[in-house]
Amino acid sequence: CIERFWRSAKCERIYLNEYHSISELITDVDDYIEFYNHRRFHETLAYKKPMDVYQESIKLNQEKAKAS
């Protein structure tokens, strides 16, 4: 859920840093998005990373399509 993402981004990154420009903030948010999706384990995903779950779902859908 996008609300959960922004809550995590604010508490884990944004509120902990001081930004001197909007471009610094944007760069840090971009870095956090990469971290959040590719390296951060999520309790609601059985402690998996979102990108891993996404790739697993693509693989399963491809296997289902081949079986049909």
Q: Can you read off the two tokens belonging to residue 14?
A: 């944004």
The domain ranges of the chain are 2-67
Q: Which pTM value belongs to this model?
A: 0.83
Give the pLDDT confidence of 34-60 residue by residue, as tens digits: 999 999 999 999 999 999 999 999 999
Pick from 36, 34, 33: which is nearest to 44 by CA? 36
H helices of the chain, in order, are: 2-12, 22-38, 50-67
pLDDT in tens, 17-31: 999 999 999 999 999
